[in-house]
Amino acid sequence: MRGEGSASKKRVFEKITEELIELKNTSELMIDLAYSALLLNSVELAEEVEMLEEKMDKLHTDFELRILSSNFKPEEAKEFLGLMRIGSVTERIADAAEKISSLVLRGLKSHPVMNLVIEEAEETVVRAKVSEESPLVGKTIKEARINERTGMWILAIRRNNRWIRPKSTTRIKAGDVLIASGYTEGEEDFLHLVSGA
Amino acid sequence: MTHLEKIRYKPISVKKILREMKDISEVMIDLAYSAALFNNADLAREVMELEERVDTLSYLLNMNAMIAARDAGDAEALISILTVAAATNEISDAAADIAKLVLLEIGIHPIVREAFRRIEEQLIRVVVKPGSKLVNKKIGDLDLAAQIGVDIIAIRRVKKWIIDPKDDEVIRENDVLIARGAPMGIEKLRAMAEGKEVVIEE
C-alpha cells in the first residue's frame, strides 16, 4: 500500500515538474517571438504570441489545480506555495510578451531605435515544415549548422501543437515546423534545406 | 526600510537605456530561476540589485522619451519604445519575485527542484580568483563555448554589469562571472576560475 502511494506521489511530482518546465519555456519563447513580431512588423508572429498566451492561461490553471489537489502535507505547504508563485511569474512574463506583440496588432509600428536595440534585427521571417527528405532530420540544431549554411536563425520549433524553444541540443524531426528569421537572401537556401528538394 | 536611489534627469540616448533594460531583464530571468533551483541566496541578491537598476533606467527612459516627443507623430513612434520598456520592467519585477522566494526562505519543493535541475541547462556564479588562468584573457580567445561548452552570459565588476560580454572583453581578477552550460562544463569553469589545473579533452 505504502509503495503504491509513493509511486502515485512520484507521478504527481513528475507531472508538476513537466508543467512548470512547459510554463517556463513557453513564457520565454513568447518573449523571443514578441520581439521578432515587433521588429518584423509581423501580424502572423504577433498572432502566434496571442495563441501562446491562451495556451499559457490553460496550462497555468492546470498547474495550479494539480498542486492544490496533490494532497501535500501541512509541512510541505511552503514549498508548494513556492511552486505556485513561480507559476504566476511565468504567467506575468507571458503577459509582458503579449503586451509587446499586441503593438503590432494595434497597427503601431516599431520605432527605428528598436531595430538597433534588438541586434538580431533581421529582414524577414519564414516558416517551413521539415520534410522526410530534408538533410536536417535527426540532426541537432548545432549539427544542422543552419545559420552557417543559410544565414537564418531558428526562433522556434512547433511540434504537434507544442512549441519548442531551440537549444543547441534540440533534435530536428520530420514534420517539425521551423520559424526562422534572417536576411531575405537566405530564405531560398533555407527553404531548400528544410524541404530537402 | 529600503533605501531608494534618488532619480535625476540625465541626457542618455533612449537606445542605450532600452538596450540595457532588455539585456538585464533577460539575464535576470535566467539568474532568478537558477537562484530558485539551487536555493542560492547570492544569486538571488544579484537579481535584486539588477531589479533596482532596471527601475532607475525606467525613470530615465521615460524622462528622455518625454523630451524627445515634439508632436503626435513622435508620440506614436515612441509608444512602442515605452511599451517595450514597461514590458522589460515587468519581466524584471517578475524575476525579482522568484529571487525573493529564495531570500524569504519559501523555496520550491525539493523534488521538483531536483527534476528541474536535471533537465534544464545550469547557470553558475563564480568569482575569478587571482592566479586563475582566466585573468587578463579575452573572452573570444578563451573560446569557452567550443572548449568546454559554457557561455559567459554576464560579468559583474564591482557595481558594474556587463551583460552578454563581447569577444574582446578582458576578464579581470575578482570579476563575478555568470555562465551557462552543461553540468560538466560548469564544473570545469568553476575550477578554472578558482585557479585549479583543468584538463580540456578534445
Question: How would you write the pLDDT of chain B (202 residues) with one tens digit per residue?
Answer: 567 888 999 988 898 999 899 989 988 998 898 888 888 898 899 999 999 999 999 999 999 999 988 999 889 889 999 999 999 999 999 999 999 999 999 988 888 887 777 766 677 888 999 999 999 999 989 888 888 888 888 899 988 888 888 889 999 999 999 888 877 888 899 999 998 877 665 4
Tell me which residue in A13, A89, A96 faces B112 most closely, judged by beta carbons. Answer: A13
Predicted confidence at residue B94, as pLDDT, reads: 96
Predicted confidence at residue A123, as pLDDT, reads: 64
CB contact under 8 A, A95 and B90: yes
Predicted confidence at residue B9, as pLDDT, reads: 92
Contact A24, A164 (CB under 8 A): no
pTM: 0.79
Q: What is the ipTM of this complex?
A: 0.80
Under-70 pLDDT residues of chain A = 1-5, 118-123
Predicted confidence at residue B100, as pLDDT, reads: 95
Shortest CA distance from B150: residue in chain A: A168
Kindly list the residues from chain B whose CB atom is less than 8 angstroms away from the CB atom of residue A96. 87-88, 90-91, 94
Predicted confidence at residue B180, as pLDDT, reads: 84
- Would you state the cell numbers that stand for residue B124, as one nine-digit string? 553558475
- Would you state the cell numbers that stand for residue B24, as one nine-digit string? 538585464
Residues in chain B: 202
CB contact under 8 A, B110 and A16: no
Predicted confidence at residue A1, as pLDDT, reads: 40
Query: Element (H or E) spanning A27, and its range?
Result: helix A2-40
Q: For residue B132, what are the β-bridge partners? A: none
Question: How close is the nearest chain A Cα to the Cα of B45, in Å?
Answer: 17
Interface size, chain A vs chain B, as Cβ–Cβ contacts under 8 Å:
109
- Would you state the cell numbers that stand for residue B64, as one nine-digit string? 528622455
> What is the greatest pairwise CA distance in chain A?
65
Kindly list the residues from chain A whose CB atom is less than 8 angstroms away from the CB atom of residue B112. 13, 16-17, 20, 83
Predicted confidence at residue A119, as pLDDT, reads: 58
CA–CA gap between residue B186 and residue B119 (Å, rounded): 15
Predicted confidence at residue B39, as pLDDT, reads: 87
CA–CA gap between residue A53 and residue A26 (Å, rounded): 9
- Count of H helices and E strands in chain B? 7, 4
Predicted confidence at residue B184, as pLDDT, reads: 81
Side-chain half-sphere exposure of B134, counting CA atoms within 13 A: 28
CA–CA gap between residue A127 and residue A42 (Å, rounded): 12
User: Is B125 strand, coil or helix?
Assistant: strand
Percentage of chain A modeled with pLDDT above 70: 94
Predicted confidence at residue B81, as pLDDT, reads: 93
